[in-house]
Amino acid sequence: MAKPSIHPSWYPNAKVYCDGQLILKVGSTKPSLNVDIWSGNHPFYTGSQKIIDTEGRVERFMRKYGLTD
């Protein structure tokens, strides 16, 4: 037997905000959600992510500690 009073209210059109701007609507147990990061401003998805140059790190470590052959 289901108990209707134990489940939270469902908001099928909950608004998602990022920096005060409405981003999208989703289903949620809260009427509105505030997020800091979403795919529209995350560097990975926007293409502005910087790739760290790792080439030569092992060689530099080996030289620093005199572990070269």
* Contact (CB, 8 A) for 47 and 30: no
Instruction: Return per-residue pLDDT of the chain as tens, 69 residues.
Output: 667 788 899 999 999 999 899 999 999 999 999 998 888 888 777 777 666 656 677 777 878 888 766
pTM of the predicted structure, to 2 decimals: 0.57
* Contact (CB, 8 A) for 56 and 34: no
